[in-house]
Structure 1
């Protein structure tokens, strides 16, 4: 617990390494909500964006591309056409949905976030465990969009097609915003429920330990003399399966 608290303090003290040097508006509320809890620490986030990037032909990499347009709100075809006037290489039009990475103190904390994220529509979310047992929960979605528009400064598609792409991207942005809102509301409820459950923790240890003592009882001389006597309920196959399932979880 102390190690996680130190790691959290160090990370939150770092300067923002993003291009804009600040949190996106929709992600900021979630970051405050999570960082206010000692069990969580946000690592990185983006609340979703439409991007027009000019690359050198080697792919859309942060180190070798120039952003001609970036917006975290719905955009217009005119914005894209204006951005294309500055193109000199291979231009890509992208929609990138909301993403959030959260460091979690314990696996059960990551599982709580994962459950809320999936229920909110972020079905590509996942949990990773790194070196030293660092637990990271990533909130991700699959409704991305990436389309090449020009090659070596020459436009490859029509304005009509660009207008269609903008409409598709804006629809994805609107859905992205709805999912963020669902995630925040669901997270608030889940965190409140978790706090309520923690207050009952003293009553739970006996139950949690009981799964490890489901061993076959020694049969008394009377039981040994009566081979027709059935096993106790805790000795049956179902109890063994329950133990296996709980260990897997």
Structure 2
């Protein structure tokens, strides 16, 4: 199968390119004759402001902060709010919870989509993914075409409400030291995510 990592075919993930943290893994997969990756994310920590386009905040949202690596610096309360795109002030809550646009602190583990040449090749990927800890992985054969495999896990995922927007200002719903705790939790999950990626890589190579 044609390589997906070349410049002529960009990664279909929102970033449009392959995260450096899994570049070697993606290159190894695409070097195999039976596989081609279609989209990927190495795992990320984000702070996301909901959009106001529809119920549930879909449409018009924006990223306030995003990283694909653990944040190793010790930040004081002022710095952590500035880093995450939040205002530092007393914790408060929206007057109308039904219409408020909330700010989420999220950790999302690696997700990788790929096509396989055969069902047997897809099964090998799926087995490797499940053994590595990506327990929500799955495969399907859309319209009798090449099997599509999704390598993913929700076990490490984290999604916490930490604020809301009031006018043009993002207000905190939590104390800054809680944000510091969340950053610490995200750093640990980055470590676990990296271990799972390496287990998947080794299982697929065996």
Q: Which runs of 4+ in 1 moved over 3 A?
A: 8-13, 15-21, 57-61, 76-80
The 3-state SS of whatever aligns with 2:135 is: coil
- Which position in structure 2 is the counterpart of 1:84? 86
Q: What residue number does 2:105 align with? A: 93
- The reply to whether residue 42 of structure 1 matches residue 37 of structure 2 is yes
- The answer on 1:141 being equivalent to 2:136 is no
- Contact 1:54/1:92, CA 8 A, preserved across alignment: yes
1:74 maps to which residue?
70
Q: In proportion to residue count, which structure has more helix?
A: 1
Instruction: Report the Cα distance in structure 2 between the residues aligned to 1:128 and 1:151, rounded to whole angstroms.
Output: 38
d(CA) in 2 for partners of 1:14, 1:179:
27
**Structure 1 length normalisation: TM-score?**
0.65
The correspondence for 1:168, drawn from 182, 185, 188, is 185
Matches of 2:14 and 2:192, distance apart in 1: 25
Higher strand share: 2
Map residues 206-217 of structure 1 onto 2, 5 A cutoff.
none
TM-score by length of 2: 0.78
Q: What secondary structure does 2:39 align onto? A: strand
Q: Please tell me the root mean square deviation across aligned C-alpha atoms, in Å.
A: 2.5
For structure 1, the residue ranges without an aligned partner over 5 or more in a row are: 190-249
Is contact 1:52-1:80 (8 Å) kept?
A: no
From 136, 139, 146, give the equivalent of 1:127.
139
| Residues 1:80 and 1:135: Cα distance change in structure 2 (over 3 Å) | farther
Structure showing greater radius of gyration is 1
